[in-house]
Amino acid sequence: MSITVADLDGIPGRTAASLLLNCCGSSRWVSEMVAARPFGSRDAVLSEADRIWTSLGASDWLEAFAHHPRIGERTAARSHGEQGDEWADEEQSGVADADDDVRNALATANQEYERRFGYIYIVCATGKTPEEMLEIARRRFYNDGVTELRLAAEEQRKITRVRLQKLLEEEK
């Protein structure tokens, strides 16, 4: 499903919030995006989305992370909404085709990551192989907590941007 920027600008706030929640699970990000309308252009939506995301704090980022399934799993602690859940499945579709060793290693990496940092491993899976996601997770184990939270937040920003691009029709 995709909509025009004009549609996003003109629909009731509650409807806009529901659509935007599919892109990012931070309630503060969603409410600030709704309040920032009208955007007028796709570029303005993407720019404002980035600006709002980078203005948020750790609790907002962690809330967004909780809306993602672990890499290789299908269910998140909280749903993004039907469309967001479908996009998560698409983004991670390559993991289903990975061999058992890689899937098991990803499951172990997910557990180790959560134990170390206290939240799920977030990586923008679009365009990445399961092996690449596993290698990225293993490298990130060496980060301190502050550095890792910022890296995870940047990955969430990328995911949000990809999903906004899917939500919004290309401008003609």
Bridge partners of 76, per DSSP, are 69
Block means of pLDDT (10 residues each) for the chain, 172 residues, are 93 96 96 98 97 98 92 60 55 67 92 96 91 95 97 97 92 66
- Reading phi first (left if > 0) and then psi (alpha if -120 to 50, else beta), residue 117 is in alpha
Q: What is the pTM of this model?
A: 0.87
Rounded Cα–Cα distance for residues 41 and 155 (Å): 24
Tell which CATH architecture fits domain 5-167.
Orthogonal Bundle (1.10)
Query: Would you list the domain boundaries of the chain?
Result: 5-167
Q: What is the Cα–Cα distance from 137 to 130, expressed in whole angstroms? A: 11
Task: Say what the pLDDT of residue 92 is.
Answer: 55
What pLDDT digit, counting tens, does each position of 107-117 carry? Answer: 999 999 999 99
DSSP letters, 22-70, are TT---HHHHHHHHHH----SHHHHHHHHHHHHHH--HHHHHHHHTTSBP
Q: Return the pLDDT at 75.
A: 56
